[in-house]
Amino acid sequence: MIQQDFAYNVVQIVQKDAGVIGLAAAGSWITQELDEYSDIDLVLVTKEKMGGNKEKMLLYARQFGDFISGFTGDHVGEPRLLVCLYDKPLLHVDIKFLTLPEFHTRIENPVVLFERNNKLTDIINSTEAAWPQPDLQWIEDRIWTWVHYIAGKAARGEYFECLDGLGFIRARVLAPLLQLKSNTLPRGLRKVEKKLTPPDLESLKITNAQYSKASIIKALDNTISVYRTLRRKLFPPEIALQAKAEKRSMEFFKKIKGD
């Protein structure tokens, strides 16, 4: 596959560089789910800190293939990430630049493609990877204000803003909670079509809306219903429910609906 061919070519390049400690592959490579449409996620571990220095990261990235463009991952809060596009063949490659101490803290155990003196393998064997879990209190503290916001914008006719708001809740709240319910990694909307059960997937589908007030109101109503069901099943007693915010936001929403 083109992703593997690209990665093994990078191995040939970096193993000649004494400043490189190791190279690993993450994402779909770990679960052997690469297909013709997959991006490739690489982790480059170097002696000198490169992450956060765009020019140094670009110097490395340009060596690895027919480089078209690249930008840092500030949009996802990760300045050590370089998002790249290569040509011949056209391929999206994410390269995370880490030092060896930084490699200790990770969300998954990547597949080591190259390393010096087993340094990456030793860290993987002696430390735990921890995938970020949904912060249930963070969600409950915000959800009812978001409901109020979307309802108000629907009443005003700001439908694109409503569609964005519903999509945000679907990606940041509903999809992760449904994945938590099904004991899969909470990865937002990534691969939910394959990972969720048909009933759970249907729960996401009914939160989609068309560009109309009636459709947005219905989708928001469904979003609230799905959230309440998941909250009832998943939230432990120590999560402080925002009862007043829920009550007042729902009163406002019912007024907008015309109930």
Q: What is the DSSP string of 32-81?
A: T---TT--EEEEEEESS--TT-HHHHHHHHTTSSEEEEEEEEGGGTEEEE
Identify the pLDDT of residue 33. 84
Query: Taking the model in full, what pTM does it have?
Result: 0.85
Contacts of 138 (CB under 8 A, 6+ apart): none
Identify the pLDDT of residue 259. 61
- pLDDT per position as a tens digit, 101-122: 999 999 999 999 999 999 999 9
- pLDDT per position as a tens digit, 23-57: 999 988 998 888 889 999 999 999 999 999 999 99
Residue 125: HSE in the Cβ half-sphere, 13 Å Cα cutoff? 6
The CATH number of 2-126, from 3.30.420.40, 3.30.460.10, 3.40.50.970, 3.40.50.2300, is 3.30.460.10
CATH fold of the domain at 136-257: Four Helix Bundle (Hemerythrin (Met), subunit A) (1.20.120)
Under a CB-based contact definition with an 8 Å cutoff, are residues 99 and 45 in contact? yes
The secondary structure of the chain in percent helix, strand, coil, rounded to multiples of 5, reads 50, 15, 30
